[in-house]
Amino acid sequence: MAKTSRKLVANNKKASHDYFFEETYEAGICLAGTEVKSMRMGKCSIKESFIRIDRGEAFIYQMHVSPYEKGNIMNKDPIRPRKLLLHKSEIRKLSGKVSQAGYTIVPVEVYFSHGIVKLKIALAKGKKLYDKRQTIAKKDMRREAERDFKIRNL
């Protein structure tokens, strides 16, 4: 049985609160060497980032990768747009869905998979306010049930 080597760098908890995930995809990211070194140190944020498809290519915008401390002039702009590496068929499928009303592409998490930086993205549909309230109520009920279970088993 093979071990899956996966180190989480950043995740977007707000995305699961604001959206229903329909499908998820794994995409590579075009990065400079100093950006990869910075990500290995965990200096990455995807909280305000979003994904657009321009001319048949997917890009992630507003993804903040802090400059590498030991870097020099090779450091890039921390919030520059970065190209996502997806298959052409996946990009076509995503662009077709996004053209429909209510769908968007959301970055979910950034991680290292066997030494390569990967981005988990999701085709998502926005939640309404009452959906968010239902999600919060379910989490509270689950938390209370776990607490009761823990108390009973002591």
Give mean pLDDT, residues 23-43: 87
Ordered alpha helix ranges (H), 114-154: 129-152
Give the CATH number, domain containing residue 14: 2.40.280.10
Rounded to the nearest integer, the mean pLDDT of the chain is: 84
The residue with greater pLDDT, 56 or 129, is 56
Answer yes or no: is 137 within a domain. Answer: no
pTM of the predicted protein model? 0.76
Q: Which amino acid is at 41?
A: M
- Residue 96 belongs to domain spanning: 6-127
> pLDDT, tens digit, for every residue of 108-131?
999 998 888 999 999 888 877 777
Report the number of distinct structural domains present in the chain.
1
Answer yes or no: is 153 within a domain. Answer: no
Answer yes or no: is 104 within a domain. Answer: yes
Contacts of 126 (CB under 8 A, 6+ apart): 18, 19, 20, 102, 104
